[in-house]
């Protein structure tokens, strides 16, 4: 069996279900099916023109070569300014590493820190790749489940209980993919009090949705001076600037972490794309006001989704305050017969929606919650309305 020849590391991981579902939707579309794809977390906007112009200029000016491994110094300076301007975080360029997307930035940190028996605490629902990345490192994920009643957020007692002598890392996103929950300043302060008692535990704060935040302003957990040295702040251009394919992500971290990420990246990819880095200088120098129009549009869509989902019996949901996902509980449908087939779990429910409503979503199981379903509203209003009309019809 060829499969047995693969590394143990690989035998233990699965394909990214967000990417797999989106590929399936694309394949069906190519075959002529009228599928509405609400599976992938990818903004449907065009990147801002001022950023595109900067990239074109970079090509004409000859930025065609390897950059320093951790990124152009000018970009790292701009990232420090951005992290202070938007998040009140103080970093110096030697604490910044620019990578090929936030995905690589996170993987660099995990490879820097994790040994085989280390434990990584991950609140569920979690972003699909956290768990698999920990598996790639052959470390042990320790999952803290949350419920819709608590807005899918953990509390300090749960955190304290999950910590053991093997705990090396904690990883979470706020605003959250897949739930859209946002941790408040106070909630983060309470978690920080626990981390303060365990100074060896590092925290990966994935803030890629920081600007897509509808109620109170996003807070970075690294803001608290007593745990700042434990935090790796992760961010990138994919969501805020709608530049998913440009692959720019970065970390702000203690220097020893930044140095080890630089070492790993130097062996794995040399550097992030040079043209995209120059464009990132322009993007991140701009005040967030310039991308406000996209956030406003996401908020409109979020409100639209809340109105539409109310109309569907059997969906329980909480109001997402950030990102562009809603994560309804669909377990009311489990054990029921739909078109002659009994739905057993969220995988089957998501399959059902794809087959009968031709709407692609992602099963909650991808994110560690078997009772829910992730619906991305990073799509036009017309598509969202049509998708919910179809879902409602299929479930009748």
- Helix boundaries (H) for 224-380: 255-268, 274-285, 292-310, 346-352
**In sequence order, what are the residues at sequence separation of 6 or more whose Cβ sits closer than 8 angstroms to the Cβ of residue 265?**
69, 70, 97, 99, 104, 108, 271
When binding is defined by CB under 6 A, the residue of 25, 83, 128, 240 that contacts ligand GLU is 128
Contact letters for ligand GLU, residues 178-207 (x by CB under 6 A): ------------------------------
Question: Binders of ligand GLU: how many residues, by CB under 6 A?
Answer: 9
- Helix boundaries (H) for the chain: 2-5, 8-11, 17-30, 49-60, 73-87, 101-113, 128-136, 156-162, 185-196, 255-268, 274-285, 292-310, 346-352, 381-395
When binding is defined by CB under 6 A, the residue of 135, 238, 274, 379 that contacts ligand PMP is 238
Q: Would you say 203 and 221 are in contact if contact means Cβ atoms under 8 Å apart?
A: yes
When binding is defined by CB under 6 A, the residue of 100, 174, 177, 318 that contacts ligand GLU is 177
- Shortest distance in whole angstroms from residue 42 CB to ligand GLU: 6
Cis link prior to 125 (omega < 30° from 0)?
yes
| CA 356 – CA 1 distance, rounded (Å) | 37
When binding is defined by CB under 6 A, the residue of 39, 70, 174, 177 that contacts ligand PMP is 177
Q: Would you say 252 and 203 are in contact if contact means Cβ atoms under 8 Å apart?
A: no
Residue 252 binds ligand PMP (CB under 6 A) = no
Contact letters for ligand PMP, residues 264-303 (x by CB under 6 A): ----------------------------------------
Q: Which does 16 bind (CB under 5 to 8 A by kind): ligand PMP, ligand GLU, none?
A: ligand GLU
Q: Are strands 202-206 and 167-173 parallel, antiparallel or unpaired?
A: parallel
Q: Would you say 195 and 227 are in contact if contact means Cβ atoms under 8 Å apart?
A: yes
- Shortest distance in whole angstroms from residue 289 CB to ligand GLU: 25
Cβ closest to ligand PMP, residue 268 vs residue 385: 268
Q: Which does 328 bind (CB under 5 to 8 A by kind): ligand PMP, ligand GLU, none?
A: none
| CA 19 – CA 33 distance, rounded (Å) | 19
Binders in 304-333 for ligand GLU, by CB under 6 A: none
Q: Which does 173 bind (CB under 5 to 8 A by kind): ligand PMP, ligand GLU, none?
A: ligand PMP
Residue 23 binds ligand GLU (CB under 6 A) = no
Binders in 199-218 for ligand PMP, by CB under 6 A: 206, 208
Q: Would you say 127 and 206 are in contact if contact means Cβ atoms under 8 Å apart?
A: yes
When binding is defined by CB under 6 A, the residue of 13, 19, 163, 275 that contacts ligand GLU is 19
Query: What are phi and psi for residue 293, nearest 5 degrees?
Result: -60, -35
Q: Which does 276 bind (CB under 5 to 8 A by kind): ligand PMP, ligand GLU, none?
A: none
Length of the chain: 396
Residue 41 binds ligand PMP (CB under 6 A) = yes
Q: Would you say 241 and 47 are in contact if contact means Cβ atoms under 8 Å apart?
A: yes
Query: What are phi and psi for residue 140, nearest 5 degrees?
Result: -110, 120
Q: Are strands 140-145 and 359-360 parallel, antiparallel or unpaired?
A: unpaired
Binders in 26-55 for ligand GLU, by CB under 6 A: 40-42
| CA 21 – CA 26 distance, rounded (Å) | 9
- The shares of helix, strand and coil residues in the chain, as percent rounded to the nearest 5, are 45, 15, 40
Q: Which does 40 bind (CB under 5 to 8 A by kind): ligand PMP, ligand GLU, none?
A: ligand GLU
Cβ closest to ligand GLU, residue 195 vs residue 327: 327
Cβ closest to ligand GLU, residue 101 vs residue 252: 101
Residue 236 binds ligand PMP (CB under 6 A) = yes
- Shortest distance in whole angstroms from residue 127 CB to ligand PMP: 4
């Amino acid at each position: 069996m060829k499969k047995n020849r693969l590394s143990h590391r690989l035998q233990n991981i699965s394909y990214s279900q967000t990417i797999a579902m989106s590929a399936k939707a694309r394949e069906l579309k190519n075959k002529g099916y009228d599928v509405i794809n609400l599976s992938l977390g990818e903004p449907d906007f065009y990147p801002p023109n001022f950023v595109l112009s900067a990239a074109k200029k970079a090509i004409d000016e000859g930025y065609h070569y390897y950059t320093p491994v951790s990124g152009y110094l000018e970009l790292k300076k701009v990232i420090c300014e951005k992290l202070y301007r938007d998040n009140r975080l103080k970093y110096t360029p030697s604490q910044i590493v620019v990578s090929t997307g936030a995905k690589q930035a996170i993987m660099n940190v995990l490879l820097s820190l994790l040994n085989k028996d280390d434990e990584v605490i991950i609140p569920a629902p979690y972003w699909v790749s956290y768990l698999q990345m920990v598996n790639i490192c052959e470390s042990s994920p320790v999952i803290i489940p949350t419920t819709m009643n608590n807005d899918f957020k953990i509390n300090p007692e749960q955190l304290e209980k999950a910590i053991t002598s093997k705990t090396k890392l904690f990883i979470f996103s706020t605003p959250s993919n897949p739930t859209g929950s946002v941790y408040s300043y106070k909630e983060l302060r309470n978690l920080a009090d626990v981390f303060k008692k365990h100074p060896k535990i590092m925290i990966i704060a994935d803030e890629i949705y920081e600007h897509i935040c509808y109620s109170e302003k996003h807070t970075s957990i690294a803001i608290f001076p007593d745990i700042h040295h434990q935090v790796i702040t992760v961010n990138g251009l994919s969501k805020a600037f709608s530049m998913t394919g440009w692959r720019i992500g970065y970390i702000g971290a203690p220097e020893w972490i930044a140095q080890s990420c630089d070492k790993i990246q130097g062996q794995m990819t040399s550097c992030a794309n040079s043209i995209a880095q120059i464009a990132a200088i322009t993007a991140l120098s701009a005040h967030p006001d310039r991308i406000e129009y996209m956030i406003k549009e996401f908020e409109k869509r979020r409100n639209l989704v809340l109105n539409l989902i109310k109309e569907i019996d059997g969906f329980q949901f909480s109001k997402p305050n950030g990102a562009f996902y809603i994560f309804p509980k669909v377990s009311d449908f489990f054990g029921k017969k739909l078109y002659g087939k009994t739905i057993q779990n969220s995988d089957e429910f998501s399959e059902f929606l794809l087959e009968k409503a031709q709407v692609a979503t992602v099963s909650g199981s991808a994110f560690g919650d078997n009772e829910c379903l992730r619906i991305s509203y990073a799509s036009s209003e017309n598509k969202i309305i049509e998708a919910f009309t179809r879902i409602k019809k299929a479930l009748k």
